Amino acid sequence: MASKNLQNIILLYKIILICGLCLVYSKAELQRFEHPIKPDGSLSILVVGDWGRRGAYNQTEVAAQMAKIGDQVDPDFIISTGDNFYEDGLTGVDDPAFEESFSNIYLGPSLQKQWYNVLGNHDYRGDVLAQLDPILRKKDSKWLCLRSFILNTDVAEFFFIDTTPFVDKYFNNPKDHKYDWRGVLPREEYLFNLLKDLDTALKESSLDWKIVVGHHTLRSAGKHGITFELEERLLPVLQENNVDLYVNGHDHCLEHISSPDSPLQFLTSGGGSKAWRGNVRPWSPEELKLYYDGQGFMTMKLTKYDVYIQFYDVFGNILHQWSRSKGLYFV
């Protein structure tokens, strides 16, 4: 009888646990935004990452080149791949670093478009909720930052993913750093819900291009290299759902790696300010299409049938370009 009661208690606990997960999952569903494309059916984007240093380490020079190229390509919006404010994020919504590293730096007319931002590991070292606070949008209307969200356009769907909580060392060996895990704990529950939401959203997507944006590297010949937690948990979701591009920062370089076993391309745009000269790991030349260990940024142009990528250095020179048409792969 006691054994049967124990079994009933265990069963009840499992039911409560499952229901609890369902409640958390329903609250964790990814928020969606819509962004129009141009009348000709195209979409142009600037991509920059690892930038927020109050103009130092050539951040101002990169911003100036972004503005010049922006005048040519007329971006519909700008993507930031994270590490928005160094070294330790923002101290709060009134931190002057917001203006000194963002509003006062990206001044060109072509940069006064909507910025869609993800968080990086350095952002988690400060008041992480400050970057998510609507007060910053009131200070500068082009700022929009969430942990994870979906951006719909008529030609492509963008899935912005919060990658920092995946990385074990930030929890197990933070060294002298303090990370703001409000809204993330319990961690495994958070990651389970995020991957579930992403998988569901990717499966439901009917658009021609699927692009996932995160801060951390999946494939990289740079200093940080492969983020093994993402390789184990995120990469299978991308491959199963035929994602076209994974766009990231984290390594302070510009990089294009082609997947050997799928159409998935890995694009690193982390050259917004401080670069790591000489930090390059050996990589297969058949896969490594670009590695540049300096500052710069990336542009993307998409139509229903084509995607066109260009990488620029801090002087505005084109370092690399790549294109793909649906059904035809150019590598």
Active site residues: 224
Torsion of CA 206, 209, 210, 211, to 10 degrees: -150
Q: Is 122 labelled a binding residue?
A: no
The verdict on whether residue 121 carries a ligand-binding annotation is yes
Q: Does 168 count as an annotated binding residue? A: no
Eight-class DSSP state of 245:
E
**Count of C-beta atoms within a 10 Å radius of residue 306:** 16
Is 252 labelled a binding residue? yes
Q: Is 86 annotated as a binding residue?
A: yes
C-alpha–C-alpha distance, residues 171 and 280, integer Å: 27
Question: How far is Cα of residue 202 from the mean position of the Cα atoms in its chain?
Answer: 16
215 is annotated as contributing to ligand binding: yes
Please tell me whether 57 is known to bind a ligand. Answer: no
Say how far residue 129 (Cα) sits from the centre of its chain.
17
Alpha helices in the chain (DSSP H): 2-27, 59-73, 97-98, 128-132, 134-139, 169-172, 187-204, 228-233, 235-240
Of 263, 145, 247, the residue nearest 208 (C-alpha)? 263
Q: What does each C-alpha distance from 167 to 121, 224, 330 come to in angstroms?
A: 9, 12, 33
Q: Which residues contact 299 (CB under 8 A, 6 or more apart)?
A: 44, 45, 46, 47, 69, 73, 75, 309, 310, 312
CA distance linking residue 305 with residue 302, whole number of Å: 8
Rounded Cα distance, 29 and 42, in Å: 29
Which positions make up the binding site? 50, 83, 86, 121, 215, 250, 252
Which positions make up the binding site for Fe cation? 50, 83, 86, 121, 215, 250, 252
